[in-house]
Amino acid sequence: MMDCCSQPGLMPIETARSRLLAEIKPVAGVETVSLKNAVGRILAVGVRSAVDLPPCDNSAMDGYALHSTDLDAQAPLRQIGKSFAGAPFTGEVLPGTCVRIMTGAVLPAGTDAVVMQEHVSADGDDIHIHGAVRRGAHIRRRGEDVSAGEILLGAGVRISVPHIALLAAAGIATLNVVRRPKIGVFSSGDELRQPGDSLGKGDIYDSNRTALLAALSELKLDILDLGILPDDKNVIREKLAQAAREADAIVTSGGVSVGEADYTREVLEEMGEIGFWKVAMKPGKPFAFGRLAGIPFFGLPGNPVSALVTFYQLVVPALETMQGGSWSGAPTLRAKLLKPVEKKPGRTDFQRGFYCNDPTTGLCVEPMGTQGSHILSGLAAANCFIVLEQDSGSVETGDLVTIEPLRPPLGG
Ligand code: AMP
Ligand code: MG
């Protein structure tokens, strides 16, 4: 027997994602941002290093710089000066002599090894070395990290904090990044109220738009917030037209199902076109993708978990592509299931789960207790989706399943 929502003819999620991505074009336009404001932005132009990193041979330790062949003689070495980070020793180190050196200080001419200060005893300027010292010891070589002219990051990369560290180390102060696409957002439903306002009987708070606005700003997108719309075709028409004029894409929630007040899809069909509607996924079946005046339209289901799951699975890859990045699929892991999950073939399931690494059994995952598409507490407590493929049936305790750890904007 099929469950109420498995229907033949629903579009497999992989097809939905690739159909939708095939229609998404990167936005035109580049802007220059300072390095400190570049996290999360997508590089429009690749960046090369103008310098070697490290810029010159330097010491990895606090100690003494010397010539390694001097160590064959058992005689102490005479300290002839000091080399500090930022204040190098400028003379030449001749046989029989050494230089006191600090971490990061330039290696003086004539030296080829550093001995840690812990392996030395000093008697005035006479330095006694204990133990063997190998040539090249404790020296960081010029260019061993990056050489001048090397590409540091290519176009299309989303800038992370480690990227910032690398670029700053190479002396780069500004970056050319892709313009932020502007996303028009509204939620629709006569029952929806803004958090902070009071609720009348039958009202609920608009969690979808609030969460979507947060997700979009986390993804470094510009936002056109069109607010909460009533179930009124004229208002929906007017706001869709505004979004088409002012935004690069539209994300809405609610009004795409089959209820009598589900007008968003109907109005889109009248003003633009529906590319596809209804995806073989759970939650999220009523997802609609379309076009309006040349810009993409993503109609998320109203149910809050469905809205965020479809946003994550179908809209985030599209937004990445619009920003000039490339979506290469979500990283997945395999984990041992700690509780059985009932499922009927027909739709890809995105169960909310919590995974952890058990010292004896390895990676394990537990499905959250209640999986309804209105159960936000389960999504909020989850750290992964348990992805059960469209054709799979129920899975048992101990089965290995695919999990997708939640990444920004939904997790970690
Ligand atoms: P709909 O898709 O408009 O039929 O809505 C499906 C369910 O999701 C209904 O229970 C709505 O009340 C609820 N819903 C719709 N929009 C939102 C929203 N923005 N925030 C929270 N719940 C919503
Ligand atoms: Mg509604």
| 159-207 residue pLDDT tens | 999 999 999 999 999 999 999 999 999 999 999 999 999 999 999 999 9
The Å distance, Cα 260 to ligand 2 centre, comes to 9
Residue nearest to atom 11 of ligand 1 (CA): 302
- Ligand 1 mutation target, pool 208, 231, 260, 306, most atoms within 8 A of CB: 208
Residue nearest to atom 16 of ligand 1 (CA): 302
Q: At what angle do helices 264-271 and 233-246 cross, to 10 degrees?
A: 60
Nearest CA to 318 among 22, 40, 38, 10?
22
Residues around the ion ligand 2 (C-beta < 5 A): 189, 254, 302
Nearest CA to 115 among 134, 96, 97?
134
Length of the chain in terms of residues written: 412
Name the E strands within 165-282: 174-178, 182-188, 192-193, 204-205, 222-229, 249-253, 273-277, 279-282
Atom of ligand 1 nearest to the CA of 209: 19
User: What is the pLDDT at residue 132?
Assistant: 81
Query: Which ligand has the nearest atom to the CA of 208?
Result: 1
User: What is the pLDDT at residue 7?
Assistant: 64
Residue nearest to atom 14 of ligand 1 (CA): 302
Query: Which ligand has the nearest atom to the CA of 190?
Result: 2
Residue nearest to atom 3 of ligand 1 (CA): 254
The Å distance, Cα 261 to ligand 2 centre, comes to 6
Residues with CB under 6 A from ligand 1: 187, 189, 191-192, 204, 206-209, 253-255, 257, 259, 262, 301-304
Residue nearest to atom 5 of ligand 1 (CA): 302
- Ligand 1 mutation target, pool 5, 204, 233, 267, most atoms within 8 A of CB: 204
Name the region of 343 (left: φ>0; alpha: ψ -120 to 50; beta: rest).
beta
Angle at 186 between CA 184 and CA 190, to 5 degrees: 165
The Å distance, Cα 379 to ligand 1 centre, comes to 16
Full pLDDT tens readout for the chain, 412 residues = 334 445 667 999 999 999 999 999 999 999 999 999 999 999 999 999 999 999 999 999 999 999 988 876 678 999 999 999 999 999 999 999 999 999 999 999 999 999 999 999 999 999 999 988 899 999 999 999 999 999 999 999 999 999 999 999 999 999 999 999 999 999 999 999 999 999 999 999 999 999 999 999 999 999 999 999 999 999 999 999 999 999 999 999 999 898 888 999 999 999 999 999 999 999 999 999 999 999 999 999 999 999 999 999 999 999 999 999 888 899 999 999 999 999 999 999 999 999 999 999 999 999 999 999 999 999 999 999 999 999 999 999 999 999 999 999 999 8
The Å distance, Cα 303 to ligand 1 centre, comes to 5
In terms of DSSP H, where are the helices of 251-299?
264-271
Residues 329 and 352: their CA atoms lie apart, in Å, by 19
User: What is the pLDDT at residue 301?
Assistant: 96
User: What is the pLDDT at residue 5?
Assistant: 46
The Å distance, Cα 385 to ligand 1 centre, comes to 22
User: What is the pLDDT at residue 2?
Assistant: 38
Residues 49 and 53: their CA atoms lie apart, in Å, by 9
Which H, E and C letters describe 317-360, residue by residue? Answer: HHHHHHCCCCCCCCCCEEEEECCCECCCCCCEEEEEEEEEEECC
Atom of ligand 1 nearest to the CA of 231: 3
The Å distance, Cα 203 to ligand 2 centre, comes to 11
- Ligand 1 mutation target, pool 253, 285, 377, most atoms within 8 A of CB: 253
Token pair, residue 386, equals 């348990």
pTM of the prediction?
0.92
Residue nearest to atom 23 of ligand 1 (CA): 302
